[in-house]
Structure 1
């Protein structure tokens, strides 16, 4: 049963999530899920899609709780902003979907088959060169770039992972990308 929003400690629950305490996420879910589902439903206007948004939002809350900063805002607001952003992203991605019949799909696939083989060869060659260029970077620059572009981490998350100052991480990424551009040219 949910606790009154003014007595539930959202910030503490998020800190507990950051420590990996699953009960804290369950508490957040029990406290806010019905309201958050309402927010998602108002935006996406489809129950199934709203439930998917809520699921994705709670995964993001769980994985991103370590990045929550109570100094920048309230925990409850942070949770609601995640749901809102997920719902808006779902709407945007649905707007990009284009329905096509089987004949159209078949024609496009057939048209692109020869082109795809040439692109695959070029991609493999580029990836090999990229791996060589990454290998020439020092460990901190390489790790920062991989965390940013492969894992999708923010600068502050990378700083936490590498136990390094935020400014150093930003500099490593900037210099590392410059070195990669130079190497790939």
Structure 2
């Protein structure tokens, strides 16, 4: 089969001519399988890739432009590029244990947990030194995430009074923690 004949088959395939596509497959599958096998080096994977290559040829035959280049060159390029893409996706999926060792563990270590536990106990102790309503407001604002307006409403005080309570309570906590 000549290059002109293959070119005509590709053009007819772009028009969804199944008979032309069947003939194109029979005339070129051995060559394209060889390309896939050479790139992928695994027969089963090359066979699977070849099927995917022909699906691409069926869906993208309209992108083939008749030119001075051989039509088989276009088909080989489709097969080669697809096989290379399969290798690239395989590399992404295969992350080894060596790479996992380089990833830092975001959880705190035993020393950090011990220090945090001590700090938490100190903060809790200092919160107990505050008046009950002030301690509840600090816990609500900084541990629960309540807004100043929500706290003011819950404690039945004006908004500016709540701001003052929180500012003064934080100053007392700072003094307590520095002792």
- Structure 1 position 30 matched with structure 2 position 10: no
Offset at residue 6 of structure 1 (A): 3.2
Per the alignment, residue 14 of structure 2 pairs with 18
Is 1:43 equivalent to 2:39 in the alignment? Answer: yes
| Equivalent residues, number | 99
C-alpha distance after superposition, 1:37-75 (max 9, x if no partner): 111001101111101111111011111111110126322
Change (3 A) 1:83 1:46: same
> Normalising by structure 1, what TM-score?
0.49
Q: Which TM-score applies when normalising by structure 2?
A: 0.50
Give the corresponding residue for 1:56.
Answer: 52
What is the alpha-carbon distance in structure 1 between the residues aligned to residue 89 and residue 68 of structure 2?
A: 29
Q: CA RMSD in A?
A: 2.3
For 1:72 and 1:65, locate their aligned partners in 2 and report how far apart those are by CA, in whole Å.
Answer: 17
Q: Which runs of 4+ in 1 moved over 3 A?
A: 5-8
- Which runs of no fewer than 5 residues in structure 2 stay unpaired? 101-179
The structure having more radius of gyration, on CA atoms, is 2
**Offset at residue 100 of structure 1 (A):** 7.9
Q: 1:80 aligns with which of 57, 72, 76?
A: 76
Q: Distance in 1 between matches of 2:30 and 2:75?
A: 13
